[in-house]
Chains A and B, each alone.
Chain A
Amino acid sequence: MMWQRYELDDSVMKTTESKVLLKTEKGLVEIDKGTLAVALKLADQSQGFIFHGKGKLVLDAIVETEEGAIGEPIERELDRPFLVLGDAAKLQESLAVTEKEDLEKTGYSDQKQFLEKARSLLDRFGGRERIHGCGCFGKSSDSVFAFQNEMSKLDVLVASNRKLVYKAEGLIFVADGDRTILKSPRHMIVSKPERCITHCT
């Protein structure tokens, strides 16, 4: 395994159509047309993006138990820059060169301003050294998302096929098919078919 450094591309792009970045039984991430995007490169290979525009995150942080369902769906507008690592190739065809007006719509005067924001997010995600790449996202279905929350902390979502892990402020949700874990200020639930441990406050 060789650890390498993620770098930002120099050019800012925009999406030419709305795009679903993730769709599983429990989670959905989508971005609107016109969302700004800058590629994350690892050894000159595009490995992900930092986006900024309009989009949404939907996550059913709900656990089904024999006694009933616990938890609630989460719906978040994605109006701050967020990072995605995963299969970038399928996105390339939906990207186009950005114009000044596209940048202005999102609140930037020029590309440099957006790139600074993107770099800041990458630094916070990976640490100053940004030595995170290890080629672990080989499968097209694997992806990592880092969303900035209202407290400017990062909420992280990791998805791989039916498996999904979401860690946000005060919430941890893990789903792997029928097996689920939910940890929130009010609940602690570990559930698998015919077995469930629940603690509610």
Chain B
Amino acid sequence: MSDELRDEMKKLKEQITAMKDQLKQMADEQRPKGRGIYIDIPTNVRDYVEDAMQGVAEGVHGELDRSIFIGPGGCRIMRQGPQHLEEPDETVNLAKVATVMSALGHEHRLKILNELMSGGRYVNELQEKLSDITTSTLSSHLNVLEEAGLVVQEKVRGRYLITIPGRTAYKMARRVTRFLDMRDEE
């Protein structure tokens, strides 16, 4: 939480304390001086106000938590108001999502995508760059990536190209990794 927010919370607590004191003072002034039965209404009011202010404080705190997005790029304050939770999207083809995620789920395939990020490559060029992967394994990985729609092979020249979904998926994987790195550092 930033210093500015801390100050805001501190001020809010001070205001609550001041209001409590004011209410206590008012109650003391209105308390009957003589004998008899009396109901300490101001005490109830004080509790009520205290509860209400506590609710407001918690609400403000929660809202601040929801409105601040802390990511690898720093802290971002959402100004467009509270975000609604997304409704489950029935149109998402989960089997396809699984295919894509599965295609990403191998270090060798991520290395291939990383290599293709800088442009189309022939198999022999990939083989040269990724010498730790055998020719048959490389071919098998390329098939998996192609079936998932993350790469496409030119049929005339034979080069492999990363597709728009491939590039997006690779960037997403990289972003998730950055998040995890940040969390580990914390």
- Given known A-B contacts A64-B120, A68-B163, A75 and B168 have beta carbons under 8 A apart: no
Interface of chain A, main secondary structure: strand
Residues of the A chain whose Cβ atoms lie less than 8 Å from the Cβ of B157: 25, 60
Chain A residue with minimal CB distance to B151? A69
Cα separation A154 to B153 with both chains bound (whole Å): 27
The answer to whether A168 has its CB under 8 Å from any CB of chain B is no
The answer to whether B162 has its CB under 8 Å from any CB of chain A is yes
Cα separation A65 to B161 with both chains bound (whole Å): 10
- Which one, B154, B156, B168, contacts A68 given CB within 8 A? B168
The answer to whether B164 has its CB under 8 Å from any CB of chain A is yes
Contact B156 A25 (CB under 8 A): yes
Residues of the B chain whose Cβ atoms lie less than 8 Å from the Cβ of A70: 163-164
Instruction: Render B150-186 as a binary contact track against A, CB cut-off 8 A, 1 for contact.
Output: 0011111100011111111000000000000000000
Chain A residue with minimal CB distance to B169? A68
- Which one, B155, B161, B166, contacts A64 given CB within 8 A? B161
* A60: min CB distance to chain B, Å: 4
The answer to whether A129 has its CB under 8 Å from any CB of chain B is no
Chain B residue with minimal CB distance to A66? B167
Range class of the B interface residue count = 10 to 19
- Which one, B154, B165, B166, contacts A62 given CB within 8 A? B154
The number of inter-chain residue pairs (CB within 8 angstroms) is: 48
Q: How many residues of A contact B (CB 8 A)?
A: 20
- Which one, A24, A28, A59, A73, contacts B153 given CB within 8 A? A73
Cα separation A81 to B181 with both chains bound (whole Å): 61
* A196: min CB distance to chain B, Å: 11
Contact A26 B120 (CB under 8 A): no
Residues of the B chain whose Cβ atoms lie less than 8 Å from the Cβ of A172: none
- Residues 1-49 (chain A) with a chain B CB within 8 angstroms: 23-28
Instruction: Render A114-156 as a binary contact track against B, CB cut-off 8 A, 1 for contact.
Output: 0000000000000000000000000000000000000000000
Contact B155 A68 (CB under 8 A): no
Cα separation A25 to B157 with both chains bound (whole Å): 6
Chain A residue with minimal CB distance to B152? A69
The answer to whether A72 has its CB under 8 Å from any CB of chain B is yes
Chain B residue with minimal CB distance to A72? B152
Cα separation A24 to B154 with both chains bound (whole Å): 12
- Which one, B154, B163, B164, contacts A73 given CB within 8 A? B154
Contact A68 B153 (CB under 8 A): no
Residues of the B chain whose Cβ atoms lie less than 8 Å from the Cβ of A24: 156
Chain B residue with minimal CB distance to A28? B156
* B117: min CB distance to chain A, Å: 9
Contact B155 A60 (CB under 8 A): yes
**B-contacting residues of A (Cβ < 8 Å)?**
23-28, 58-60, 62, 64-65, 67-73, 75
19 CB contacts below 8 A, A to B, read A23-B156, A26-B156, A60-B154, A60-B156, A60-B157, A62-B154, A62-B161, A64-B120, A64-B161, A67-B164, A68-B165, A68-B168, A69-B120, A69-B161, A70-B163, A72-B152, A73-B152, A73-B155, A73-B156
Across the A-B interface, the 5 shortest Cβ-Cβ residue pairs = A68-B164, A69-B161, A68-B167, A73-B155, A60-B154
